[in-house]
Amino acid sequence: MYSQTYATHPVIDADFVVYRLEEAGATLLALPGTGWSTRLRSSSLEIVRTALEAYGWTEARIRPAVPSAEKITRMDEALGWIPLIPLDRYVLRRVVGARSLVHPLTDRHLYSWRRLGSALGADHKAVQRWHAQGIGMIVQALSRG
């Protein structure tokens, strides 16, 4: 999506920032959501689990591969760019953050322009303009150093 690699010669433009934010969003969504939880799941009880398995009601969810440490580092860097948008422009921050969430398996945005527009009570074309403004602010801040 961008012409040159960031490691050798950084070309910081809107395409580069959007690419890195979408990569970060996909990496974030690929991280496993497991771990210790305080809530009780009924399917964790042995009797319920065996009954579900006996009737063939097992969930077959396809999970993306766990991201590498390098991808997680790149994710942390890219998501750290969102606070470069001034705090008083919090709507732009929300739009840029929401549009960066891309499903890691399908490469589809979790929030379409129209869905963001209805969530914010605005026209989807206005949301697209706000996204471009937010990306422009990030590019400007990164270019300054």
pTM of the model: 0.76
With bands split at pLDDT 50, 70 and 90, how would you rate the model's confidence at 47? low
Domain ranges of the chain: 14-35+67-144
Question: 70-79: which pairs have CB atoms within 8 A and are 24 or more residues apart?
Answer: 71/23, 71/27, 72/27, 72/31, 74/20, 74/23, 74/24, 74/27, 75/23, 75/24, 75/27, 75/28, 77/20, 77/24, 78/20, 78/21, 78/23, 78/24, 79/21, 79/24, 79/28
With bands split at pLDDT 50, 70 and 90, how would you rate the model's confidence at 2? very low
Answer yes or no: is pLDDT of 145 > 90.
no
